[in-house]
Structure 1
Amino acid sequence: MSELLKKQFQAIISVSSEEFDYILGHFSHKKFKKHQYLVQAGDLVHYDYFVLSGCVKSYFTDESGKTHILLFGIPDWWITDYEAYYFQKKATVNIDCIAETEVLCLSHINREKLCQEFHALEHFFRKKTNRRNVVLQNRILTLLSSSAKERYEQFIVDYPDLVQQLPKHLLASYLGVTRETLSRLYHAH
């Protein structure tokens, strides 16, 4: 399973097998059951998670109790509450498993240590952060300026495999629509 992480590194930086083994030694491996939390609002966040298998959702629950899904994490993706992770604050989002999930966990201390030891790894994480910033900016702009139909169609283009895996109520929450609206969009497509 760690080959997935190695492949992601090698798409951006050059890492020898020995270096990769050393880097991998700074991660812990965990398995989570469906509905189990990786991150829970109000708790300190100790890890950035690299998803090996399964699927997780990151979400915020507002004061009225409405859930807003920020993003999904699928294999080959990184996910955590980044504000809490970087600044050692309490989490404001929850991240829980939609399915049984396997992850590699990287503590902030180990991330900083590895980045000091390997300039290339610091470059890798900077590139990943830049990509995440662009994706989140585009998500916000899409929510602000696109119709429900346009958001649904873009989701299908961006995540064709995920559409079939997700329960419809989660997809509706992510798109910012009701289940009824999603049902109409689903049958019209």
Structure 2
Amino acid sequence: MELDFLRAHIHQIVCLTDEEFEHAASFFTRRKYKKHQYIIQAGDTASQEHFVLKGIVKSSYTDHEGKEYILQLAMEEWWFSDPNAFNTGTPATLNVDCIEDTETLSISFENKEKLCASSRKMEYFFRKKYTTGNMALQKRVLALLSNNAGERYKQWRNQYPTLQKRIPKTLIASYLGVTRETLSRLSL
């Protein structure tokens, strides 16, 4: 079942034959995590990239004063990792923890490299996902820099209507770069 979910996701970009998909799927490992469990912690190695089958995770950075900044909220059909740590082998700077019980399909850096070397279609797929992710990140950063709190909240609500019911308001506020009180005023 979870492999069907991955296959449908891949097929949004490239079509794989049954044999090609079986080959690609063999590089992934299914993992389960409990609510509040860390998948990646700052300072650890982050040698896996994950595709969310079920649940929601929060990727965040905590500064030296203990303030948390949420970079990403990833739900079903989203990919996450600590990209710098995953691609360079350096210690993670991000924390990734589960907001809900979560199931993922993960792929190691080594296996991703092998898969891409053996399949031009999967190499293209990952390149397209990487490009789309970078464009979304740029859009998010520009919104944080140029939009007021009300505009950011409206944009977030329109872009992710189902997340509002699944994520605590304190996390939504942090993701939008506002206080919980400001979010309450915007939600009215």
Q: With the length of structure 1 as denominator, give the TM-score of the two structures.
A: 0.97
For 1:155, what is the secondary structure of its paired residue? helix
Partner of 1:103: 104
For 2:162, what is the secondary structure of its paired residue? helix
Partner of 2:61: 60
Cα distance in structure 1, aligned partners of 2:54 and 2:93? 24
One-letter code aligned to 1:154: Q
Cα distance in structure 2, aligned partners of 1:105 and 1:78? 9
Cα distance in structure 2, aligned partners of 1:20 and 1:39? 28
Partner of 1:132: 133
Cα distance in structure 2, aligned partners of 1:72 and 1:2? 22
Return the offset for 1:76: 0.3
Cα distance in structure 1, aligned partners of 2:169 and 2:149? 14
Partner of 2:156: 155
For 1:160, what is the secondary structure of its paired residue? coil
Q: Deviations over 1:79-126 (max 9, x none)?
A: 000000000010000000000000001000000001010011110000
Return the offset for 1:9: 1.0
Cα distance in structure 2, aligned partners of 1:143 and 1:175? 7
Q: With the length of structure 2 as denominator, give the TM-score of the two structures.
A: 0.98
Cα distance in structure 2, aligned partners of 1:15 and 1:119? 11
Taking only the aligned residue pairs, the percentage that are identical comes to: 47
Moved over 2 A (4+): none
- Correspondence 1:2-17 to 2 at 5 A: 2-17=3-18
- Correspondence 1:6-155 to 2 at 5 A: 6-155=7-156
Return the offset for 1:2: 1.5
Structure 2: which 5+ runs fail to align? none
Return the offset for 1:19: 1.5
Mean Cα deviation higher: 71-80 or 2-11: 2-11
Cα distance in structure 2, aligned partners of 1:69 and 1:139? 12
Q: Deviations over 1:31-82 (max 9, x none)?
A: 0000111111000111000000000000001111111100111000000000
One-letter code aligned to 2:169: K
Return the offset for 1:23: 1.2
Q: Calculate the aligned-residue CA RMSD, in Å.
A: 0.6
One-letter code aligned to 1:147: N
One-letter code aligned to 2:140: R
